[in-house]
Amino acid sequence: MAEKENRDPNFMDIYPHIFRHTFVTRCIQSGMNAATVQKIARHSNEKMTNYYTHLEEEHIDDEYERYVQKYGTET
């Protein structure tokens, strides 16, 4: 595409390690227990697992909606 547009290509820095963040986040968002994810990812402690977890806004909204459905909204 860059050649067609007569410009230099813009390469992204992609390396295998960044997929650890995605994997850990997806595990947590799927409902997997943080202690289990810690063991699978071979993190030394839960703090490291939390560091690798990047919850998506949509997931946060969905989880809150589940709470509201179960307990209602705050008054």
Sign of CA dihedral 47, 52, 53, 57: positive
Question: 8 and 2 in contact (C-beta within 8 Å)?
Answer: yes
pLDDT for the residue 75 = 54
pLDDT along the chain (75 residues), means of 10: 86 86 96 97 96 96 94 78
Sequence ranges of the domains in the chain: 18-71
pLDDT at 12: 80
